[in-house]
Amino acid sequence: MNAIVTAVSLSSSHSFSKPNQDSIRLLAGLGVEGDAHLGITVKHRSRVAKDPTQPNLRQVHLIHAELFDELAERGFSIAAGKLGENVTTRGIDLLNLPAGARLLLGESVVIEVTGLRNPCVQIDRFQKGLMKAVLGKDEQGKVVRKSGIMAIVLKGGEVRPGDAIRVELPSEPHRPLEVV
């Protein structure tokens, strides 16, 4: 199966969920036009409280639709945009991409993967028990965060549902994703 964008979402407020859109415009070095997290410096409220001058490594949030399938098997009902992501994908193993991987979305957009999203308490406020469902453990007992990845925009443009996604891996050695 080819990797594709299945939905795009944005919200101008710091709400947990983001309404789906017909398209979103990504702006190089800034993020998603019209989204509350747009900017050169960090916009996530808890991070702004710690240091508002730190660079925004969370310009675009991506989640794989396969997570929604997994959660449905566990009794949760989650739709695209409901966990606050800007881009919902299918057919790409987002969580196992290395840091620095580039994703080419549609005709022209290029984003660079910066790290993992760390689910926060808001996720349990959205649906009770969801935090535990998006956290797992690997064979070594290390925490696995399933709630998506974060990226910065290198080359802007429009992104729409149905757009193809291509992956460019960075030079080796690859660095695993860490929370950003």
Q: For residue 180, tell me if it sits in a domain.
A: no
Q: The dihedral of CA 129, 95, 36, 82: what is its sign?
A: negative
Backbone φ and ψ for 108, nearest 5 degrees, come out as: -140, -15
**CATH number of residue 138's parent domain:** 2.40.33.20
* Residue 178 placed within a domain: no
Specify the pLDDT at position 147: 95
Of 32-36, 45-49, 62-66, 131-135, the least confident: 45-49
At 1 the pLDDT is 65
Please tell me which residue, 80 or 52, carries the higher pLDDT value.
80
What's the rounded Cα separation, in Å, for the pair 165 and 141? 32
Judge whether 175 lies within some domain. Answer: no
Structural domains in the chain (count): 1
Residue 30, domain extent: 4-168
Pairing of strands 149-155, 60-64: antiparallel
Is 179 within a domain? no
Q: Give the residue-averaged pLDDT of 117-121.
A: 87
* Rounded Cα gap, residues 76 and 12, in angstroms: 26
Average confidence (pLDDT) over 164-173: 98
pLDDT for residue 52 is more than 70:
yes
pLDDT confidence tier of residue 51, bands split at 50, 70 and 90: very high
If you average pLDDT over residues 91-116, what whole number do you get?
97
pTM over 0.85: yes
In a domain, residue 125? The reply is yes
Does residue 143 sit within a domain? yes
- Report pLDDT digits (tens) over 7-45: 999 999 999 999 999 999 999 999 999 999 999 999 988
